[in-house]
Chain A
Amino acid sequence: MATLVIAEHNNAALGAATLNTVAAAQAIGGDIHLLVAGSNCAAVAEAAARVAGVSKVLVADQAAYAHQLTENLAPLVAALGRDYSHLLAAATTNSKNLLPRVAALLDVEQISEIVKVLAPDTFQRPIYAGNALATVQSLAAIKVITVRGTGFDAVAAEGGTASIETVATVSDAGISRFVGEEIARSERPELTGAKIVVSGGRGMQSGDNFQLLYRVADKLGAAVGASRAAVDAGFVPNDMQVGQTGKIVAPQLYIAVGISGAIQHLAGMKDSRVIVAINKDEEAPIFQVADYGLVGDLFEIVPELERQL
Protein backbone atom coordinates (compact mmCIF):
# COMPACT_ATOMS: atom_id res chain seq x y z
CA MET A 1 0.00 0.00 0.00
CA ALA A 2 1.38 3.39 -0.99
CA THR A 3 -0.10 6.84 -1.44
CA LEU A 4 0.79 9.45 -4.03
CA VAL A 5 0.00 12.97 -2.85
CA ILE A 6 -0.26 15.67 -5.52
CA ALA A 7 1.63 18.70 -4.18
CA GLU A 8 -0.09 22.08 -4.28
CA HIS A 9 2.38 24.76 -5.37
CA ASN A 10 2.99 27.80 -7.59
CA ASN A 11 6.38 26.64 -8.96
CA ALA A 12 8.11 28.73 -6.28
CA ALA A 13 6.74 27.49 -2.95
CA LEU A 14 4.94 24.45 -1.61
CA GLY A 15 1.31 25.21 -0.69
CA ALA A 16 0.41 24.79 2.98
CA ALA A 17 -2.60 22.61 2.07
CA THR A 18 -0.16 19.88 1.00
CA LEU A 19 0.85 19.38 4.65
CA ASN A 20 -2.74 18.62 5.70
CA THR A 21 -3.05 16.20 2.79
CA VAL A 22 0.11 14.35 3.86
CA ALA A 23 -1.48 14.09 7.33
CA ALA A 24 -4.49 12.35 5.75
CA ALA A 25 -2.10 10.03 3.90
CA GLN A 26 -0.44 9.17 7.22
CA ALA A 27 -3.85 8.31 8.68
CA ILE A 28 -4.34 5.88 5.78
CA GLY A 29 -0.91 4.33 6.35
CA GLY A 30 1.80 2.97 4.04
CA ASP A 31 4.51 4.75 2.06
CA ILE A 32 3.89 8.37 1.09
CA HIS A 33 5.26 9.86 -2.12
CA LEU A 34 4.74 13.46 -3.25
CA LEU A 35 4.35 14.50 -6.88
CA VAL A 36 5.57 17.96 -7.82
CA ALA A 37 4.48 18.67 -11.40
CA GLY A 38 5.31 22.12 -12.68
CA SER A 39 7.91 24.14 -14.50
CA ASN A 40 11.16 25.40 -12.97
CA CYS A 41 9.88 23.94 -9.74
CA ALA A 42 13.14 22.56 -8.25
CA ALA A 43 12.75 24.69 -5.11
CA VAL A 44 9.32 23.17 -4.52
CA ALA A 45 10.73 19.66 -4.93
CA GLU A 46 13.41 20.42 -2.34
CA ALA A 47 10.81 21.75 0.09
CA ALA A 48 8.66 18.69 -0.59
CA ALA A 49 11.57 16.39 0.28
CA ARG A 50 11.80 18.01 3.73
CA VAL A 51 8.12 17.37 4.60
CA ALA A 52 7.81 15.00 7.54
CA GLY A 53 6.61 11.52 6.64
CA VAL A 54 7.35 11.65 2.91
CA SER A 55 9.72 8.97 1.58
CA LYS A 56 10.00 9.95 -2.08
CA VAL A 57 9.37 13.04 -4.21
CA LEU A 58 8.60 12.66 -7.90
CA VAL A 59 9.38 15.74 -9.96
CA ALA A 60 7.90 16.35 -13.40
CA ASP A 61 9.49 19.62 -14.47
CA GLN A 62 8.14 20.53 -17.92
CA ALA A 63 6.93 23.70 -19.60
CA ALA A 64 3.60 21.96 -20.33
CA TYR A 65 2.90 21.78 -16.59
CA ALA A 66 3.75 25.41 -15.81
CA HIS A 67 0.19 26.56 -15.20
CA GLN A 68 -1.26 23.27 -13.96
CA LEU A 69 -3.40 22.89 -17.10
CA THR A 70 -5.49 19.84 -16.33
CA GLU A 71 -5.61 18.61 -19.91
CA ASN A 72 -1.81 18.15 -19.76
CA LEU A 73 -1.44 17.06 -16.14
CA ALA A 74 -4.23 14.50 -15.86
CA PRO A 75 -2.62 11.90 -18.21
CA LEU A 76 0.68 12.21 -16.29
CA VAL A 77 -0.96 11.78 -12.88
CA ALA A 78 -3.12 8.90 -14.15
CA ALA A 79 -0.06 7.09 -15.55
CA LEU A 80 1.88 7.51 -12.29
CA GLY A 81 -1.18 6.76 -10.17
CA ARG A 82 -1.52 3.21 -11.48
CA ASP A 83 1.33 2.17 -9.18
CA TYR A 84 -0.43 3.36 -6.02
CA SER A 85 -3.31 2.23 -3.82
CA HIS A 86 -4.29 5.83 -3.01
CA LEU A 87 -4.09 9.12 -4.89
CA LEU A 88 -4.63 12.18 -2.68
CA ALA A 89 -4.79 15.93 -3.22
CA ALA A 90 -5.91 18.93 -1.19
CA ALA A 91 -9.44 20.17 -1.91
CA THR A 92 -8.17 23.37 -3.53
CA THR A 93 -9.60 24.74 -6.79
CA ASN A 94 -6.51 23.40 -8.53
CA SER A 95 -6.97 19.81 -7.38
CA LYS A 96 -10.76 19.94 -7.67
CA ASN A 97 -10.13 20.74 -11.32
CA LEU A 98 -7.53 18.01 -11.79
CA LEU A 99 -8.41 14.97 -9.73
CA PRO A 100 -11.82 13.99 -11.17
CA ARG A 101 -10.25 14.07 -14.63
CA VAL A 102 -7.54 11.72 -13.36
CA ALA A 103 -10.10 9.42 -11.71
CA ALA A 104 -12.12 9.13 -14.92
CA LEU A 105 -8.96 8.35 -16.92
CA LEU A 106 -8.30 5.55 -14.43
CA ASP A 107 -11.98 4.51 -14.63
CA VAL A 108 -12.42 4.78 -10.86
CA GLU A 109 -14.79 6.81 -8.74
CA GLN A 110 -13.52 9.71 -6.66
CA ILE A 111 -14.30 10.52 -3.03
CA SER A 112 -14.42 14.30 -2.56
CA GLU A 113 -13.42 16.36 0.47
CA ILE A 114 -12.90 13.77 3.17
CA VAL A 115 -12.63 15.09 6.72
CA LYS A 116 -11.72 11.83 8.46
CA VAL A 117 -10.01 8.53 7.66
CA LEU A 118 -11.77 5.62 9.44
CA ALA A 119 -9.91 2.81 7.62
CA PRO A 120 -7.72 2.69 4.50
CA ASP A 121 -10.90 2.25 2.42
CA THR A 122 -13.44 4.07 4.62
CA PHE A 123 -13.78 7.81 4.97
CA GLN A 124 -16.08 10.48 6.32
CA ARG A 125 -17.19 13.41 4.18
CA PRO A 126 -19.77 16.16 4.54
CA ILE A 127 -22.73 16.27 2.14
CA TYR A 128 -25.67 18.70 1.80
CA ALA A 129 -23.48 21.69 2.70
CA GLY A 130 -22.29 19.95 5.85
CA ASN A 131 -25.81 19.28 7.13
CA ALA A 132 -25.02 15.55 7.00
CA LEU A 133 -21.87 13.50 7.34
CA ALA A 134 -21.56 10.42 5.15
CA THR A 135 -19.35 7.44 5.93
CA VAL A 136 -18.33 5.91 2.60
CA GLN A 137 -16.35 2.83 1.70
CA SER A 138 -14.49 2.64 -1.59
CA LEU A 139 -13.89 -0.74 -3.21
CA ALA A 140 -12.08 0.87 -6.15
CA ALA A 141 -8.67 -0.52 -7.10
CA ILE A 142 -7.17 2.96 -6.74
CA LYS A 143 -8.74 5.28 -4.22
CA VAL A 144 -8.78 8.81 -5.62
CA ILE A 145 -9.51 11.31 -2.87
CA THR A 146 -9.54 15.05 -2.22
CA VAL A 147 -8.84 16.11 1.35
CA ARG A 148 -10.46 19.00 3.21
CA GLY A 149 -7.62 20.68 5.08
CA THR A 150 -9.67 21.61 8.13
CA GLY A 151 -10.15 17.91 8.95
CA PHE A 152 -6.45 17.14 9.38
CA ASP A 153 -3.71 18.85 11.38
CA ALA A 154 -0.76 19.70 9.13
CA VAL A 155 2.40 17.60 9.35
CA ALA A 156 5.70 19.39 9.97
CA ALA A 157 7.13 21.13 6.90
CA GLU A 158 10.65 20.21 8.01
CA GLY A 159 12.34 17.09 9.28
CA GLY A 160 11.86 14.71 6.36
CA THR A 161 14.64 13.40 4.14
CA ALA A 162 12.89 12.05 1.06
CA SER A 163 14.73 11.08 -2.11
CA ILE A 164 14.00 13.09 -5.24
CA GLU A 165 13.31 11.27 -8.50
CA THR A 166 12.78 12.88 -11.89
CA VAL A 167 9.83 11.87 -14.05
CA ALA A 168 10.58 12.50 -17.71
CA THR A 169 7.07 11.96 -19.11
CA VAL A 170 5.71 14.92 -21.02
CA SER A 171 2.06 15.08 -21.91
CA ASP A 172 0.89 18.11 -23.81
CA ALA A 173 -2.67 17.69 -25.06
CA GLY A 174 -2.48 20.94 -27.03
CA ILE A 175 -6.16 21.77 -26.44
CA SER A 176 -5.82 24.40 -23.73
CA ARG A 177 -3.68 27.45 -23.21
CA PHE A 178 -3.02 29.67 -20.19
CA VAL A 179 -3.80 33.32 -20.95
CA GLY A 180 -3.35 35.12 -17.65
CA GLU A 181 -4.36 35.46 -14.06
CA GLU A 182 -5.27 38.09 -11.53
CA ILE A 183 -4.03 36.94 -8.17
CA ALA A 184 -4.92 39.04 -5.16
CA ARG A 185 -1.79 40.09 -3.25
CA SER A 186 -2.23 40.53 0.45
CA GLU A 187 0.03 41.02 3.43
CA ARG A 188 -2.56 39.31 5.59
CA PRO A 189 -2.51 35.57 6.28
CA GLU A 190 -4.17 33.17 3.86
CA LEU A 191 -7.85 32.55 4.66
CA THR A 192 -7.72 28.77 4.91
CA GLY A 193 -4.68 28.73 7.18
CA ALA A 194 -5.34 31.78 9.39
CA LYS A 195 -5.80 31.42 13.16
CA ILE A 196 -8.30 34.28 13.18
CA VAL A 197 -10.72 35.22 10.41
CA VAL A 198 -12.83 38.39 10.28
CA SER A 199 -15.62 38.18 7.69
CA GLY A 200 -18.08 40.74 6.40
CA GLY A 201 -21.49 40.27 4.82
CA ARG A 202 -24.17 42.28 3.08
CA GLY A 203 -24.44 44.41 6.21
CA MET A 204 -21.10 46.03 5.32
CA GLN A 205 -23.03 47.94 2.61
CA SER A 206 -20.00 48.64 0.41
CA GLY A 207 -16.50 47.53 -0.47
CA ASP A 208 -15.06 50.71 1.08
CA ASN A 209 -16.57 49.78 4.44
CA PHE A 210 -14.46 46.60 4.47
CA GLN A 211 -11.63 48.94 5.53
CA LEU A 212 -13.19 48.77 9.00
CA LEU A 213 -12.63 45.01 8.99
CA TYR A 214 -9.10 45.27 7.57
CA ARG A 215 -8.12 47.51 10.48
CA VAL A 216 -9.46 45.04 13.06
CA ALA A 217 -7.85 42.15 11.17
CA ASP A 218 -4.47 43.87 11.17
CA LYS A 219 -4.61 44.32 14.94
CA LEU A 220 -5.38 40.62 15.34
CA GLY A 221 -3.11 39.26 12.61
CA ALA A 222 -6.26 37.90 11.00
CA ALA A 223 -7.36 37.07 7.46
CA VAL A 224 -10.44 38.76 6.01
CA GLY A 225 -13.27 36.80 4.42
CA ALA A 226 -16.74 37.54 3.13
CA SER A 227 -20.15 35.98 2.67
CA ARG A 228 -21.50 35.11 -0.75
CA ALA A 229 -23.88 38.07 -0.51
CA ALA A 230 -20.95 40.48 -0.13
CA VAL A 231 -19.12 38.94 -3.07
CA ASP A 232 -22.22 38.85 -5.29
CA ALA A 233 -22.85 42.51 -4.46
CA GLY A 234 -19.35 43.28 -5.75
CA PHE A 235 -18.01 44.57 -2.40
CA VAL A 236 -14.97 42.24 -2.52
CA PRO A 237 -13.45 39.68 -4.93
CA ASN A 238 -14.48 36.03 -5.14
CA ASP A 239 -11.32 34.66 -3.53
CA MET A 240 -12.58 36.03 -0.19
CA GLN A 241 -15.79 33.98 -0.17
CA VAL A 242 -16.28 31.64 2.76
CA GLY A 243 -18.98 28.99 2.34
CA GLN A 244 -20.16 25.73 0.82
CA THR A 245 -18.76 26.55 -2.59
CA GLY A 246 -16.11 29.03 -1.52
CA LYS A 247 -13.38 28.50 1.04
CA ILE A 248 -13.85 26.23 4.02
CA VAL A 249 -12.21 27.64 7.15
CA ALA A 250 -11.89 26.42 10.73
CA PRO A 251 -9.85 29.03 12.60
CA GLN A 252 -9.47 29.44 16.36
CA LEU A 253 -11.64 32.54 16.14
CA TYR A 254 -14.16 33.54 13.47
CA ILE A 255 -15.74 36.97 13.69
CA ALA A 256 -18.83 37.34 11.47
CA VAL A 257 -19.79 40.96 10.90
CA GLY A 258 -23.08 41.86 9.23
CA ILE A 259 -23.54 38.25 8.12
CA SER A 260 -27.01 36.75 8.56
CA GLY A 261 -25.81 33.14 8.53
CA ALA A 262 -27.27 31.41 5.45
CA ILE A 263 -26.85 27.61 5.40
CA GLN A 264 -24.25 27.80 2.65
CA HIS A 265 -22.15 30.30 4.66
CA LEU A 266 -22.36 28.24 7.86
CA ALA A 267 -21.10 25.26 5.83
CA GLY A 268 -17.82 27.12 5.35
CA MET A 269 -17.11 28.20 8.94
CA LYS A 270 -19.12 26.24 11.51
CA ASP A 271 -16.13 24.12 12.51
CA SER A 272 -14.34 27.21 13.81
CA ARG A 273 -13.40 26.88 17.49
CA VAL A 274 -14.94 30.14 18.67
CA ILE A 275 -17.49 32.10 16.66
CA VAL A 276 -18.39 35.75 17.30
CA ALA A 277 -21.38 37.32 15.56
CA ILE A 278 -21.97 41.04 15.25
CA ASN A 279 -25.32 41.86 13.68
CA LYS A 280 -28.08 44.39 14.19
CA ASP A 281 -30.81 41.76 13.70
CA GLU A 282 -31.06 39.71 16.87
CA GLU A 283 -33.10 37.09 14.97
CA ALA A 284 -30.25 36.41 12.49
CA PRO A 285 -29.46 32.67 12.25
CA ILE A 286 -25.75 33.39 12.77
CA PHE A 287 -26.50 33.88 16.50
CA GLN A 288 -27.59 30.23 16.73
CA VAL A 289 -24.05 29.05 16.07
CA ALA A 290 -22.16 31.91 17.71
CA ASP A 291 -20.40 31.50 21.06
CA TYR A 292 -20.56 35.24 21.60
CA GLY A 293 -23.13 37.49 20.00
CA LEU A 294 -23.25 41.26 19.99
CA VAL A 295 -26.46 42.87 18.74
CA GLY A 296 -26.07 46.37 17.38
CA ASP A 297 -24.87 48.67 14.62
CA LEU A 298 -21.63 47.28 13.18
CA PHE A 299 -20.55 50.79 12.15
CA GLU A 300 -20.34 51.67 15.85
CA ILE A 301 -19.23 48.28 17.16
CA VAL A 302 -16.38 47.51 14.76
CA PRO A 303 -14.46 50.81 15.24
CA GLU A 304 -14.97 50.41 19.00
CA LEU A 305 -13.60 46.86 18.78
CA GLU A 306 -10.56 48.15 16.91
CA ARG A 307 -9.91 50.70 19.66
CA GLN A 308 -10.22 48.13 22.45
CA LEU A 309 -7.94 45.48 20.95
Chain B
Amino acid sequence: MKILVAVKRVVDYNVKVRVKADHSGVDLANVKMAMNPFCEIAVEEAVRLKEKGIASEIVAVSVGPVAAQEQLRTALALGADRAILVETDEELGSLAVAKLLKAVVDKEQPQLVILGKQAIDSDNNQTGQMLGALTGYAQGTFASKVEIAGDQINVTREIDGGLQTVTLKLPAIVTTDLRLNEPRYASLPNIMKAKKKPLETLTPDALGVSTASTVKTLKVEAPATRSAGIIVKSVAELVEKLKNEAKVI
Protein backbone atom coordinates (compact mmCIF):
# COMPACT_ATOMS: atom_id res chain seq x y z
CA MET B 1 0.00 0.00 0.00
CA LYS B 2 1.30 3.41 -0.97
CA ILE B 3 0.92 6.29 1.52
CA LEU B 4 1.09 9.96 0.61
CA VAL B 5 1.96 12.18 3.56
CA ALA B 6 1.69 15.96 3.36
CA VAL B 7 4.04 18.23 5.31
CA LYS B 8 4.08 21.99 5.77
CA ARG B 9 6.96 24.34 6.55
CA VAL B 10 5.90 26.67 9.37
CA VAL B 11 7.37 28.84 12.10
CA ASP B 12 8.85 26.63 14.82
CA TYR B 13 6.30 26.11 17.58
CA ASN B 14 8.65 27.58 20.21
CA VAL B 15 8.90 30.94 18.43
CA LYS B 16 6.70 33.72 19.70
CA VAL B 17 5.76 35.55 16.52
CA ARG B 18 5.60 39.31 16.19
CA VAL B 19 3.29 41.31 14.02
CA LYS B 20 4.99 43.59 11.46
CA ALA B 21 4.87 47.32 12.15
CA ASP B 22 2.94 47.96 8.92
CA HIS B 23 0.29 45.35 9.89
CA SER B 24 0.82 43.43 6.65
CA GLY B 25 1.50 40.12 8.39
CA VAL B 26 3.78 38.50 10.96
CA ASP B 27 7.53 38.98 10.79
CA LEU B 28 9.12 35.81 9.42
CA ALA B 29 12.57 37.26 8.69
CA ASN B 30 15.31 35.28 10.45
CA VAL B 31 12.79 33.19 12.36
CA LYS B 32 13.42 29.49 12.95
CA MET B 33 11.26 27.35 10.67
CA ALA B 34 10.31 23.69 11.14
CA MET B 35 7.91 20.97 10.09
CA ASN B 36 4.39 21.63 11.40
CA PRO B 37 4.04 19.45 14.55
CA PHE B 38 0.87 17.74 13.30
CA CYS B 39 2.69 16.86 10.06
CA GLU B 40 5.48 15.22 12.10
CA ILE B 41 2.82 13.01 13.63
CA ALA B 42 1.54 12.23 10.10
CA VAL B 43 5.01 11.19 8.92
CA GLU B 44 5.54 9.08 12.05
CA GLU B 45 2.26 7.23 11.52
CA ALA B 46 3.17 6.46 7.90
CA VAL B 47 6.57 5.17 8.98
CA ARG B 48 4.99 2.96 11.64
CA LEU B 49 2.62 1.50 9.04
CA LYS B 50 5.64 0.73 6.87
CA GLU B 51 7.48 -0.87 9.78
CA LYS B 52 4.45 -3.10 10.36
CA GLY B 53 4.67 -4.21 6.73
CA ILE B 54 1.34 -2.57 5.84
CA ALA B 55 2.74 0.31 3.79
CA SER B 56 5.08 -0.45 0.91
CA GLU B 57 6.07 3.08 -0.04
CA ILE B 58 5.83 6.50 1.61
CA VAL B 59 5.80 9.61 -0.55
CA ALA B 60 6.15 12.93 1.29
CA VAL B 61 4.73 16.00 -0.41
CA SER B 62 4.93 19.67 0.46
CA VAL B 63 3.49 22.78 -1.14
CA GLY B 64 5.72 25.79 -0.53
CA PRO B 65 8.93 27.66 -1.31
CA VAL B 66 12.27 26.06 -2.28
CA ALA B 67 13.23 26.13 1.38
CA ALA B 68 10.47 23.58 2.13
CA GLN B 69 12.98 21.03 0.77
CA GLU B 70 14.40 21.10 4.33
CA GLN B 71 11.16 19.75 5.76
CA LEU B 72 10.93 17.16 2.98
CA ARG B 73 14.49 16.05 3.79
CA THR B 74 13.40 15.72 7.40
CA ALA B 75 10.50 13.51 6.30
CA LEU B 76 12.94 11.41 4.24
CA ALA B 77 15.27 11.13 7.24
CA LEU B 78 12.34 9.92 9.34
CA GLY B 79 11.56 7.17 6.86
CA ALA B 80 9.75 8.47 3.76
CA ASP B 81 11.05 6.89 0.54
CA ARG B 82 10.82 9.86 -1.80
CA ALA B 83 9.54 13.39 -1.84
CA ILE B 84 7.67 15.85 -4.05
CA LEU B 85 7.83 19.61 -3.69
CA VAL B 86 5.12 21.61 -5.38
CA GLU B 87 7.08 24.81 -5.53
CA THR B 88 5.41 28.19 -5.09
CA ASP B 89 6.44 31.42 -3.43
CA GLU B 90 2.87 32.50 -2.93
CA GLU B 91 1.24 31.95 0.45
CA LEU B 92 -1.60 29.69 -0.63
CA GLY B 93 -4.95 29.13 1.05
CA SER B 94 -6.17 25.68 2.04
CA LEU B 95 -8.36 25.21 -1.04
CA ALA B 96 -5.45 25.85 -3.42
CA VAL B 97 -3.24 23.47 -1.42
CA ALA B 98 -5.99 20.83 -1.49
CA LYS B 99 -6.30 21.20 -5.28
CA LEU B 100 -2.55 20.77 -5.69
CA LEU B 101 -2.59 17.71 -3.43
CA LYS B 102 -5.51 16.32 -5.46
CA ALA B 103 -3.34 16.61 -8.59
CA VAL B 104 -0.55 14.73 -6.79
CA VAL B 105 -3.05 12.08 -5.62
CA ASP B 106 -4.18 11.61 -9.23
CA LYS B 107 -0.56 11.09 -10.25
CA GLU B 108 0.51 8.86 -7.37
CA GLN B 109 -2.70 6.93 -6.64
CA PRO B 110 -2.02 6.36 -2.92
CA GLN B 111 -4.35 4.17 -0.84
CA LEU B 112 -4.00 6.45 2.15
CA VAL B 113 -3.23 10.16 2.50
CA ILE B 114 -2.15 11.35 5.96
CA LEU B 115 -2.07 15.05 6.83
CA GLY B 116 -1.82 17.10 10.02
CA LYS B 117 -5.21 18.31 11.23
CA GLN B 118 -4.07 21.92 11.14
CA ALA B 119 -0.97 24.03 10.63
CA ILE B 120 0.11 26.13 13.59
CA ASP B 121 0.53 29.29 11.48
CA SER B 122 -2.82 29.79 9.75
CA ASP B 123 -4.72 27.54 12.21
CA ASN B 124 -7.22 26.76 9.42
CA ASN B 125 -7.92 23.05 9.91
CA GLN B 126 -9.26 22.65 6.35
CA THR B 127 -6.87 21.01 3.90
CA GLY B 128 -7.53 17.33 4.67
CA GLN B 129 -11.29 17.75 4.58
CA MET B 130 -11.09 19.71 1.32
CA LEU B 131 -8.92 17.00 -0.20
CA GLY B 132 -11.63 14.55 0.89
CA ALA B 133 -14.22 16.50 -1.07
CA LEU B 134 -12.04 16.84 -4.18
CA THR B 135 -11.05 13.16 -4.28
CA GLY B 136 -14.40 11.84 -3.08
CA TYR B 137 -12.54 9.77 -0.46
CA ALA B 138 -13.81 9.27 3.07
CA GLN B 139 -12.04 11.26 5.80
CA GLY B 140 -10.99 10.32 9.32
CA THR B 141 -10.13 13.66 10.88
CA PHE B 142 -8.48 14.35 14.26
CA ALA B 143 -7.28 10.74 14.50
CA SER B 144 -5.92 9.34 17.75
CA LYS B 145 -5.71 5.75 16.46
CA VAL B 146 -5.72 4.14 13.03
CA GLU B 147 -5.89 0.49 12.13
CA ILE B 148 -5.89 -0.94 8.60
CA ALA B 149 -8.25 -3.88 8.13
CA GLY B 150 -8.12 -5.22 4.57
CA ASP B 151 -9.62 -2.66 2.22
CA GLN B 152 -10.87 -0.56 5.13
CA ILE B 153 -9.41 1.63 7.82
CA ASN B 154 -10.72 2.06 11.37
CA VAL B 155 -10.12 5.54 12.69
CA THR B 156 -10.64 6.65 16.29
CA ARG B 157 -11.30 10.39 16.29
CA GLU B 158 -10.94 12.97 19.05
CA ILE B 159 -14.29 14.76 19.21
CA ASP B 160 -15.65 17.40 21.59
CA GLY B 161 -17.34 14.95 23.96
CA GLY B 162 -14.72 12.19 23.84
CA LEU B 163 -13.81 9.64 21.16
CA GLN B 164 -15.61 8.35 18.07
CA THR B 165 -14.66 5.39 15.90
CA VAL B 166 -15.53 5.16 12.21
CA THR B 167 -14.72 2.64 9.51
CA LEU B 168 -13.75 4.10 6.14
CA LYS B 169 -13.35 2.50 2.77
CA LEU B 170 -9.86 2.82 1.25
CA PRO B 171 -8.53 4.93 -0.35
CA ALA B 172 -9.09 7.40 2.44
CA ILE B 173 -7.82 10.58 4.07
CA VAL B 174 -6.62 10.73 7.68
CA THR B 175 -5.75 13.90 9.60
CA THR B 176 -3.72 13.56 12.77
CA ASP B 177 -4.42 14.74 16.28
CA LEU B 178 -1.87 15.02 19.07
CA ARG B 179 -2.37 11.63 20.67
CA LEU B 180 -1.93 9.51 17.53
CA ASN B 181 1.74 8.87 18.27
CA GLU B 182 4.93 10.41 19.59
CA PRO B 183 7.20 11.26 16.65
CA ARG B 184 10.77 9.98 16.72
CA TYR B 185 13.90 12.03 16.08
CA ALA B 186 15.87 11.43 12.92
CA SER B 187 19.18 9.66 13.52
CA LEU B 188 22.38 11.04 12.04
CA PRO B 189 22.91 8.08 9.63
CA ASN B 190 19.31 8.48 8.43
CA ILE B 191 19.80 12.23 7.92
CA MET B 192 22.85 11.39 5.75
CA LYS B 193 20.92 8.74 3.81
CA ALA B 194 18.01 11.13 3.27
CA LYS B 195 20.25 13.41 1.22
CA LYS B 196 20.46 10.73 -1.46
CA LYS B 197 16.73 9.95 -1.62
CA PRO B 198 14.84 11.31 -4.65
CA LEU B 199 13.14 14.71 -4.38
CA GLU B 200 11.09 15.80 -7.37
CA THR B 201 10.00 19.40 -7.93
CA LEU B 202 6.71 20.28 -9.60
CA THR B 203 4.87 23.57 -10.09
CA PRO B 204 1.18 24.50 -9.89
CA ASP B 205 1.35 25.31 -13.61
CA ALA B 206 2.75 21.91 -14.49
CA LEU B 207 -0.04 20.30 -12.46
CA GLY B 208 -2.61 22.47 -14.26
CA VAL B 209 -3.98 23.94 -11.03
CA SER B 210 -5.07 27.55 -10.61
CA THR B 211 -4.17 28.89 -7.18
CA ALA B 212 -6.15 32.15 -7.40
CA SER B 213 -7.64 33.24 -4.07
CA THR B 214 -10.84 35.08 -3.14
CA VAL B 215 -9.67 35.86 0.39
CA LYS B 216 -7.69 39.02 1.06
CA THR B 217 -5.85 39.68 4.30
CA LEU B 218 -6.49 43.36 4.99
CA LYS B 219 -4.61 43.68 8.24
CA VAL B 220 -2.75 41.65 10.85
CA GLU B 221 -2.51 43.09 14.34
CA ALA B 222 -1.30 42.04 17.74
CA PRO B 223 -4.06 40.97 20.12
CA ALA B 224 -4.82 43.06 23.17
CA THR B 225 -2.23 42.09 25.74
CA ARG B 226 -3.06 41.11 29.27
CA SER B 227 -0.89 42.65 31.88
CA ALA B 228 0.25 40.60 34.81
CA GLY B 229 -1.84 41.18 37.91
CA ILE B 230 -0.81 40.79 41.49
CA ILE B 231 0.68 38.00 43.56
CA VAL B 232 -1.50 37.26 46.57
CA LYS B 233 0.03 35.95 49.79
CA SER B 234 -2.56 33.44 50.89
CA VAL B 235 -5.66 31.49 49.94
CA ALA B 236 -7.69 33.75 52.21
CA GLU B 237 -6.49 36.83 50.34
CA LEU B 238 -7.25 35.14 46.98
CA VAL B 239 -10.81 34.27 48.01
CA GLU B 240 -11.34 37.79 49.34
CA LYS B 241 -10.12 39.35 46.05
CA LEU B 242 -12.27 37.03 43.93
CA LYS B 243 -15.33 37.88 46.01
CA ASN B 244 -14.94 41.60 46.58
CA GLU B 245 -12.59 42.94 43.89
CA ALA B 246 -13.21 40.76 40.82
CA LYS B 247 -16.71 39.76 41.99
CA VAL B 248 -16.57 36.45 40.13
CA ILE B 249 -17.50 34.07 42.95
Contact = CB atoms under 8 A, between A and B. Distances in A.
Q: Do A and B bind each other?
A: yes
Interface of A: 67, 69-71, 74, 92-94, 96-105, 107-113, 122, 126-140, 173-184, 196, 220, 228, 231-232, 237-239, 244-245, 247, 252-253, 263-264, 270, 273-276, 282, 287-295, 301, 304-305, 308-309
B166 A130 contact: no
B132 A136 contact: no
B29 interface: no
Contacts of A276: 238, 242
A295 B94 CA distance: 44
Contact of A130 (B154, B165, B223): B223
Interface string B170-208: 001000011100000000000000000000000000000
Interface centre among B11, B136, B139 (most CB of A within 10 A): B139
B244 interface: no
A289 B234 CA distance: 19
Contacts of B242: 253, 274, 276, 292
B241 interface: yes
A264 B160 contact: no
7 contacts: A109-B215, A127-B121, A139-B215, A232-B179, A238-B178, A264-B120, A292-B230
Contacts of A292: 229-232, 238, 241-242, 246
A70 B232 CA distance: 49
Classify chain B: how many residues form its interface, as a range: 35 or more
Interface string B122-137: 1111111111111011
B120 A128 contact: yes
B169 interface: yes
Contacts of A282: 231
B229 A103 contact: no
Contacts of A131: 16-17, 26, 222-223
Contacts of B141: 70, 93, 96-97
Contact of B123 (A101, A244, A247): A244
Q: Which 7 A-B pairs have the closest CB atoms?
A: A104-B133, A100-B129, A291-B229, A104-B130, A100-B126, A253-B248, A179-B165
A132 B169 CA distance: 39
Contacts of B107: none
Contacts of B127: 100
Given A126-B223, A239-B162, A104 B238 contact: no
Contacts of A104: 95, 98, 129-134
A94 B213 contact: no
Nearest to B171: A175
Given A176-B166, A239-B160, A293-B232, A128 B214 contact: no
Contacts of B239: 305, 308-309
B236 A173 contact: no
A231 B179 contact: yes
A118 to B, nearest CB: 9
Contact of A134 (B94, B118, B220): B220
Contacts of B54: none
B162 A112 contact: no
B91 to A, nearest CB: 12
Nearest to B133: A104
Nearest to A15: B160
A305 B240 CA distance: 11
A105 B133 contact: yes
A135 B222 CA distance: 11
A33 to B, nearest CB: 23
B126 A180 contact: no
Contact of A237 (B138, B162, B214, B217): B162
Contacts of B19: 132
A101 B139 contact: yes
